[in-house]
Amino acid sequence: MSSAAFAVVAELACVFVVATALGWLCRRLVGIPVLGELVGGALLGPTLVGDRDPAVVRWFSGAHAGPTSVFALVGTLAATLLVGVTALELNLRAVRRDRHAVVRIAVAALAVPGLLGIVAALALPAAVRGHPSHEAGFVVFVGVALGVSALPVAAITLKQLGLFRRRIGRLILSAAAIDDVVGWLLLAVLTAVVARAGATALPVTLLGVVVLILVPVIGRRPTTALLARVVERPPGWSILVALVAIAVPALIAKYSGVELPIGAMAGGVLLSLCPDLPAPARRLLARVATGICGPLFLGIAGMHLDARVFREPVVLVSGVVLLLLAGAGKVVGGYVGARSAGVNRRTALATGAGLNARGMVEILIASIGLKAGLLTEAMYSILVGIAVLTSVITPILLRLILPDEVVVQTTDVEPEPRADAGSVTHAG
């Protein structure tokens, strides 16, 4: 192995070890491993070192222009598998049980914070705004970023509080699933149009998005048949089918001008509709996503986080305002949507609070926005901060709103085989 290749492997190993160790510590202390994994990456980035190149690159290779393209590639691949496996949590069948309430909750919980985000983006100071040529894209992007919810965070929070299999849990998870799907589709079109910067490419992008929407419908029968043929074989065969089901839509997305993780989500939704993916294969995929892809992606994402930007009062104030709008908008939207469907006041308020966490989804979106040139590093840091803080606040709000119903789990919540509601993957 050449010295350059060894340096890259050593750098990635360092990111993985530090992120995993701090993630484990934060899981033990506050139950939110995503916080530790992000902090682990931030410790290796510019926040402490004060240099724009990742500190770990300089430690191992001694170069000020380290292989950041390798880091970006590994981060993208980790995010792709992470999103694909996370999408296994989507249980579209559950939406039918409370479909009227779920749809109203999902629409209101996406629209209210989304519109607040758009209004706020128009008023943000120049220090946190995107490039002037991407003004419209930046405004819409902030609206989408504030409107989404994090399905994995919601799922694991509900399990930790003993609410996962109750109606409140079904309402929150189903609405979060709809908001995530709509948010990713909007993001797909937006980033593709900005990246291609031309109207002639828009039909290709829209065609790709339509194909991704149809993937779960068209691919369900052949994927189920293929899984049925290999179900009696070792789990490796089922895992291979699952990886192909995630990879094919991801490649379709890539060649349509859409980000890989967005295509992977379509593949994950497809697999969530296939009953013949064995439990051992689901558990192994969940462990790989949680134990390897999560720390790698979040560690690399954390290396882009420069907390020094919050020294500027205008950035700090902008971040606080956006955090308040994101939190209040999601709670109010969820409450209004639930109340319009006849849900009682306390359950409606808890529904809005449960949808408040952004977690890994927001970080993924922020990373895509930074890569597409829609976000400044100041805005990226603000969105990552919102993702972490809303994930911390959500279980606290649920405990305050439902003190008689919450049963806090004292042990770690591990991914489980998907029964009715799917398998929980990553707490962020």
The amino acid present at 318, given as its one-letter code, is S
- Counting DSSP H helices and E strands in the chain, the numbers are 19, 0
More confident residue, 1 or 177: 177
Tell me the mean pLDDT in the region 364-368. 81
Q: pLDDT value at position 49?
A: 61
The dihedral formed by the CA atoms of 193, 77, 110 and 219, expressed in degrees to the nearest 10? 90
Q: Is the pLDDT of residue 409 over 60?
A: no
Q: How confident is the model at residue 391 (pLDDT cuts 50, 70, 90)?
A: confident
Q: Which structure tokens are listed for 376?
A: 């400044």
Q: How confident is the model at residue 425 (pLDDT cuts 50, 70, 90)?
A: very low
More confident residue, 386 or 66: 386
Please state which of the ranges 230-234, 270-274, 368-372, 413-417 shows the lowest mean pLDDT: 413-417
Q: What is the DSSP string of 186-246?
A: HHHHHHHHHHH-SGGGHHHHHHHHHHHHHHHHHHHHHHHHHHHHHTTS-HHHHHHHHHHHH
Q: Which structure tokens are listed for 59?
A: 């430690």
CB neighbour list of residue 175: distance below 8 Å, 6 or more residues apart: 102, 105, 106, 109, 149, 334, 337, 351, 355
Q: Is the pLDDT of residue 119 over 90?
A: yes
Q: How confident is the model at residue 286 (pLDDT cuts 50, 70, 90)?
A: confident
Q: pLDDT value at position 200?
A: 47
d(C-alpha 392, C-alpha 282), whole Å: 27
Q: pLDDT value at position 407?
A: 54
Residue 219 contacts residue 270 (beta carbons within 8 Å): yes
Tell me the mean pLDDT in the region 205-217. 83
Residue 244 contacts residue 204 (beta carbons within 8 Å): no
- Number of other CB atoms surrounding residue 265 within 10 Å: 27
Q: How confident is the model at residue 335 (pLDDT cuts 50, 70, 90)?
A: very high
Angle at CA 110, nearest 5°, toward 324 and 270?
Answer: 130
Q: Where are the domains of the chain?
A: 3-72, 74-401
Instruction: Report the share of the chain in percent with pLDDT over 70.
Output: 79
Q: Is the pLDDT of residue 418 over 70?
A: no
Q: How confident is the model at residue 378 (pLDDT cuts 50, 70, 90)?
A: confident
Q: pLDDT value at position 410?
A: 42
Tell me the mean pLDDT in the region 193-204. 60
d(C-alpha 354, C-alpha 266), whole Å: 24
Q: pLDDT value at position 105?
A: 93
Instruction: Report the share of the chain in percent with pLDDT over 90.
Output: 14
Tell me the mean pLDDT in the region 321-348. 93
CATH pick for 74-401 out of 3.40.50.300, 2.40.50.100, 1.20.1530.20, 1.10.3720.10: 1.20.1530.20
Q: pLDDT value at position 220?
A: 87
Highest mean pLDDT among 154-158, 214-218, 306-310: 214-218
More confident residue, 306 or 216: 216
More confident residue, 192 or 365: 365
Highest mean pLDDT among 233-247, 307-321, 329-343: 329-343
pLDDT tens digits, 28-61 = 887 667 778 878 887 887 766 655 455 554 554 4
Please state which of the ranges 24-28, 203-207, 263-267, 412-416 shows the lowest mean pLDDT: 412-416
More confident residue, 60 or 13: 13
CB neighbour list of residue 233: distance below 8 Å, 6 or more residues apart: none
More confident residue, 194 or 10: 10
Q: Helix, strand, or coil here: 425?
A: coil
- Number of other CB atoms surrounding residue 28 within 10 Å: 11
Angle at CA 245, nearest 5°, toward 241 and 251?
Answer: 130
Model pTM greater than 0.75?
no
Highest mean pLDDT among 40-44, 297-301, 304-308, 349-353: 349-353
